[in-house]
Amino acid sequence: MSVQCDDRELRNVLQAVQAQAPNAIEQIEALLGNCPQDPRLHFLRGSVLIGLGRHIEAHGALSQAVALAPDYDIARFQLGFFELTSGEAGNALQTWKALDRLPETDPLPKFVHGLTALIHDDFEACIQLLREGIALNAENEPLNRDMELVIDRCLPLIAPDAPEMVSETSLILGQLGARPGDASN
């Protein structure tokens, strides 16, 4: 049993998820049966479970991805973000601590600092830092959209006349193309 599944198989199941196939979660779990140590599959499973509203299982899957690959930075960031949106701000900050090692050119520390500013109600700092992270992030468009959503919610609090843009949070998929341990996921 290999640690990681074949890239082709991963791409196939990614396509099933993007196409919103009704048995997408079953396909992921079938692959996991062959490659239970592949953190990418756990991360993908967690992302799909979030979309299905199965939050308890989602947290378990994301946590497993990070446990298997502590340097899987995007998975760690998304686990922390999930914890933040689940009312676990303290756990989110703890989860994100390992991302402090990343260089200034990496968008993830900017996002972490921006969300930390949000936790402390420093909305201007939050908006600035998130925008800086968005500018550095050319590879992960869904993540940028998530951060833009947060910005949109902060804007009315610093400029009451600014229009509030509302849109759906996108599924986290672009991050899965990278392998754990890559410098920029």
Partner 1 sequence: MARIGLRLVERPNAVEASLWRRLRSDADLSCREHLFTLYVPFARAIAARERRRRPANGMERCDFEQLAFGGLLEAIDRYDPLQGAPFLAYAKHRIRGAVADGAARSSEASAQHHYRAKLEAERLSSLRAGQDPSRDALSELSELAALLAIGLLAEHAQQASVAETVSYERHEWRELTLNVVEEIELLPKAERSVMQHHYLNAVPFAQIAALLGLSKGRISQLHRAALTRLRERLRRFD
- Contacts with partner 1, residue ranges (CB under 8 A): 53, 55-57, 59, 82-90, 115, 117-123, 126, 150, 153-154, 157
Q: What is d(CA 76, CA 82) in angstroms, rounded to the nearest whole number?
A: 10
**Minimum CB distance to partner 1, residue 103 (Å):** 26
| Cβ proximity to partner 1, 62 vs 178, nearer residue | 62
Give 71 or 149: the residue with its C-beta nearer to partner 1.
149
In terms of CB distance, is 1 or 56 closer to partner 1?
Answer: 56
Specify burial of residue 17 (Cβ count, 10 A radius: 0-12, 13-18, 19+).
Answer: buried
Closer to partner 1 by Cβ: residue 89 or 171: 89
Looking at the Cβ atoms of 71 and 89, the one nearer to partner 1 is 89
Residue 5: CB minimum distance to partner 1, A: 26
**How many alpha carbons fall within 13 Å on the CB side of residue 140?**
27
- CB-nearer residue toward partner 1: 33 or 156: 156
61 with 75: CB under 8 angstroms?
A: no
CA distance 45 to 49: 6
- The full DSSP string for 111-156 is HHHHHHHHHTT-HHHHHHHHHHHHHH-SS-HHHHHHHHHHHHHHHH
Counted residue by residue, the chain has a size of: 185
Output the smallest distance, CB 167 to partner 1, in A. 15
Q: Three-state DSSP class for 69?
A: coil
Q: How far is the CB of 122 from partner 1 (least distance, A)?
A: 8
Please state the closest distance from residue 132 (CB atom) to partner 1, in A. Answer: 18
| Cα–Cα distance measured from residue 32 to residue 41, given in angstroms and rounded to the nearest whole number | 6
Kindly state the smallest distance separating residue 129's Cβ from partner 1, in Å: 13
